[in-house]
Structure 1
Amino acid sequence: MVDKSEKVVWLARVGFAVRGLVYLLLGYLALTARKADVDDGAGDTFRVLNAIPGGPVVLYVAAAGLVGYALYRLSAALFDIERKGTSWKGRAARVGYLASAVVHLVMAWTATRIASGARGAGKDSSAQMAGGVLDIPFGETLLGVVGAGLLMAALLQARNAVTAGFMRHVSSRAPAFTCWVGRAGHAARAVVMALIGWSLLRSAWVGQSREVVSLGKAINNLRDMGLGFHLVAAGLLLFGIFSLITARYRIIPDPAPPMKGLRAIRI
């Protein structure tokens, strides 16, 4: 029998693979397509996948994997399964995990809507979700927390790009080039996460969802940088490759709340 936490671990691995595919396609589109083709980020890549034979089925599987990945990140935020501790650095990392869980749940929602053929699915989904959050009580606070979490996550991504600390969570059997691909990918992701996080904070401050930028819009905002834009786009493509590698070689702790200590599931 496979217990529930084991199922979440395998869903998380599917989520890593889906994340890899999204960033791989997004980086490719940014480098080769028009500005309008990457305006919505993940939604644009999901529409590409939806157009292939059996695309809706692929998207439903992708959505399930993204939900599993989000649950894994949520467990890391709430139960500290990654053992970040209670220092300010540890708490910052856990807030970042919470923001990551929210982002990937939004991606899963977008993939499901596109697969189901919902009208306008994937179009400016970030602003739509932000608008929904702002309509609920304390919505500005919640949006601000997610924005702050993404900024913290961006700082951690940048730190990982310098120190390659992410390799502590990757099996020694991973390909030798994993470290350098991961460094380039984390650096590029730090840039776009910082732009998205800052847009969420601005949106929470002024109470207007139009301030929110999607992953695609964050990339497009860098187009005037010339070489810098191409480096970030290439870095996102490399992050996709890194995510596909980690789907196989990531060391994933048990996502269940620790009862008699933590165990790590390695393959």
Structure 2
Amino acid sequence: MVDKSEKFNWLVRVGYFSRAVLYFVLGLLALTGAGAIRQGTDGIFDAVEEFPGGTPLLWVLVVGLTAYALFRFASPLFDIENNGSDAKDWGKRIGHAGSGIAHLALAWTAYKVATGSPSGGDGASGAAAGVLSVEFGGVALGLLGLAFFIGAFNQAEKAITGKFMRRVSPQAPDATRWLGGAGFAARGVVYVVIGWSLVQAGFFSSGASNVKTLGEAVASLAGTGWLFNVTAAGLLLFGLFSLILARYRIIPEIDENQGVPKFRAA
């Protein structure tokens, strides 16, 4: 019989597998032509659906991205990653909550594509328009953009220092450090693009239609030459890195006696 900790372990690993598929497809689409990713996340999942066995894979992504989101929500709620409680640590935990929200949105998009449901609006632009319609909405959107800049800095720090390896089993392949470094650097570039689109919409009234999703942010770099190619390749490598994490990530588990998280060496 599988206990709750083991079920949690497997759900998180499915989550990392789903993230691997998402970023691998995103990088592949970017390298083979930016047209599909200009459709935003819908375009990414539409591409997945066209794969052999694409619809069942989409349902795996729905479950996996939801599981990954719940794993991230456990950080601010229970400090499951043992980050701590000072100001910097709470910044990390709040960042994990933001990641949880983002991955829930991705899971919802995958669900709509899997069920053939209509998109139901303009995605990020529609959500941004809703925020801008309320009092101080522009400020909120601008602050969210600044949060993405902080996230970009954190991604770059991980790429340079390799501190993400603390959560990876020593049994992982030797290339894990370099795959992760390239991937986090590429994500940092994308975060800057998304953050700038939010700052422009919120603080400079450029319009909600300019707010970019993950795919749109990558596609917007298409005219930059080497930067676009390097970023796209980095995102594809981040997909491979996430696939390694699906097997070798050290997953925290709950100490049933104490009710607090602890790490288990994989």
Pairwise TM-score range, normalised by the shorter structure: 0.7 to 0.9
Number of aligned residue pairs: 265
Which residue does 1:191 correspond to in 2?
A: 189
Contact persistence 1:93–1:156 (CA under 8 A):
no
> Within 2, Cα distance between the matches of 1:140 and 1:10?
40
Name which of structure 1's ranges 43-52 and 63-72 shifts more when overlaid on structure 2.
43-52
Contact persistence 2:131–2:141 (CA under 8 A):
yes
> Within 1, Cα distance between the matches of 2:139 and 2:72?
21
CA-CA distance at 1:249 after TM superposition:
0.4
> Is 1:8 matched with 2:8?
yes
> Within 1, Cα distance between the matches of 2:5 and 2:234?
32
Provide the alpha-carbon RMSD of the alignment: 2.8
CA-CA distance at 1:229 after TM superposition:
1.3
Q: Which runs of 5+ in 2 are unaligned?
A: none
Which residue does 1:18 correspond to in 2?
A: 18
SS at match of 1:262: strand
Contact persistence 1:92–1:149 (CA under 8 A):
no
Superposition pairs of residues 1-267 of structure 1, within 5 angstroms: 1-4=1-4, 6-33=6-33, 35-120=34-119, 125-132=123-130, 143=141, 146-205=144-203, 206=205, 208-254=207-253, 259-267=258-266
Name which of structure 1's ranges 242-251 and 86-95 shifts more when overlaid on structure 2.
86-95
Residue-by-residue CA offset, 1:113-144 (whole Å, 9 max, x unaligned)? 001101247x8532234345556787666655
Residue-by-residue CA offset, 1:138-165 (whole Å, 9 max, x unaligned)? 7666655654443322211100110000
CA-CA distance at 1:204 after TM superposition:
4.0
Cα distance change on mapping 1:260 and 1:116 into 2, 3 Å: closer
> Within 2, Cα distance between the matches of 1:235 and 1:95?
25
Name which of structure 1's ranges 12-21 and 36-45 shifts more when overlaid on structure 2.
36-45
TM-score for both structures, normalised by structure 1: 0.87
Cα distance change on mapping 1:194 and 1:261 into 2, 3 Å: same
* Aligned-partner residue type, residue 10 of structure 1: W
* Aligned-partner residue type, residue 163 of structure 2: G
Contact persistence 1:79–1:257 (CA under 8 A):
no
SS at match of 1:252: coil
TM-score for both structures, normalised by structure 2: 0.87
> Within 1, Cα distance between the matches of 2:254 and 2:201?
32
Q: Which runs of 5+ in 1 are unaligned?
A: none
Name which of structure 1's ranges 179-188 and 131-140 shifts more when overlaid on structure 2.
131-140
Cα distance change on mapping 1:7 and 1:42 into 2, 3 Å: farther
> Within 2, Cα distance between the matches of 1:97 and 1:247?
18
Identity of aligned residues (%): 43
> Within 1, Cα distance between the matches of 2:243 and 2:40?
18
